[in-house]
Copies of this chain bind each other. A is one copy, B any other.
């Protein structure tokens, strides 16, 4: 059995998930650099090296955290989008949804800084190790899919139907991602909440405007 038996046995039963949980907590508390094998093991009440039975090493644990963080980010975006009331004008509705999705993105970054910072970034621990994990192209990041779809919907309703948006998706993503990081660890951190809203609004305006106009 792999259940949660009360008494602590020699074998944990679900160490892998327990470690991931602890690692996620660590990431929430202090970002990816805080995710430390020994500490995660300590929290689970297991010896420092037990993790190696379930992960290649720290990198792989971080990768698990990263996946969790990406899922959580996408969830935040979907929740934000779900809250926007429908509109009659499809164009307006599309724009509202785009804005909501973006807000959900930034909101997650601001509310879960540690987790957000763990969501991206190549596995960069050893100096000369490319990432051997998966991560094919830009896909597989649901957050990106959500953004792209919302963007596509706006473009589809544009007055002169836009034909090619060569890389407009990436541009929009750049904006929200950059904004998030500037707010989190960049020079925009420690910005009074109200000014922060201004900045967010400005950026979203830029994104929407850039989507609507050629």
Q: Which residues of B contact A186 (CB under 8 A)?
A: 120-121, 177
A-B pairs with beta carbons under 8 Å apart, 20 shown: A33-B125, A34-B127, A120-B186, A120-B187, A121-B185, A121-B186, A124-B185, A165-B202, A166-B198, A167-B195, A170-B188, A171-B199, A171-B205, A173-B182, A174-B176, A174-B179, A205-B210, A206-B211, A210-B210, A213-B213
Given A203-B174, A209-B210, do A120 and B179 touch, yes or no (CB 8 Å)?
no
Binds B, one of A48-56, A137-145, A155-163: A137-145
A110 beta carbon closer than 8 Å to chain B: no
Can you tell how many copies of this chain the complex includes? 2
Q: Which residues of B contact A141 (CB under 8 A)?
A: 187
Q: Are A124 and B31 in contact (CB under 8 A)?
A: yes
Q: Which residues of B contact A202 (CB under 8 A)?
A: 165-168, 170-171
A172 beta carbon closer than 8 Å to chain B: yes
Shortest distance from the beta carbon of A58 to any chain B beta carbon, whole Å: 13
Given A135-B187, A181-B178, A210-B209, do A29 and B127 touch, yes or no (CB 8 Å)?
yes
Partner of A182, one of B174, B205, B207: B174
Residue of B nearest to A184 (CB): B122
Partner of A175, one of B30, B174, B189: B174
0 or 1 for each of A128-158: is its CB under 8 Å from B? (1 = yes) = 0000000101100100100000000000000
Residue of B nearest to A119 (CB): B186
